[in-house]
Chains A and B, each alone.
Chain A
Amino acid sequence: MVSSPPLPPAIPLDAGFVHWGFVNLSVPNIIVIVAMLVVFVLALVVPFPQDRP
Chain B
Amino acid sequence: MSAAEEQAGENRSWSSAVVRWVSGLVPRGQWLPDRQPGYVASWIYVFGVSALASLVLVIASGLVLTVGGVTWWHTSSLGHFVNSLHLWSVEFFFATMVIHLWGKFVMASWRGGRGLTWLTGAFSFFVSIGTAFTGYLIQTNFDSQWISTQAKDGLNSTGVGSQFNVMDFGQMVLYHVALLPLGVLVMVGLHVVLVRRRGVVPPFGAEPPAEAGVEAVSGSSEGGVK
Contact = CB atoms under 8 A, between A and B. Distances in A.
Contact of A48 (B42, B47, B80, B98): B42
B43 A48 contact: yes
A4 B75 CA distance: 9
Nearest to B47: A43
A8 B103 contact: no
Interface in A8-53: 8, 32, 35-36, 39-40, 42-44, 46, 48, 50
A8 B75 CA distance: 8
A1 interface: no
B43 A36 contact: no
A50 B41 contact: yes
Interface of A: 4-5, 7-8, 32, 35-36, 39-40, 42-44, 46, 48, 50
Contacts of B99: 36, 39-40, 43
Interface residues of B, number: 15
B103 A43 contact: yes
Contacts of A8: 74, 80
Contacts of A43: 42-44, 46-47, 99, 103
Contacts of A32: 91, 95
Given A36-B95, A40-B102, A43-B99, A48 B74 contact: no
B43 A46 contact: yes
A15 to B, nearest CB: 13
A27 B38 CA distance: 40
A48 B80 CA distance: 37
Contacts of A46: 43
Interface in B78-101: 80, 91, 95, 98-99
A35 to B, nearest CB: 8
A26 B87 CA distance: 18
Nearest to B38: A50
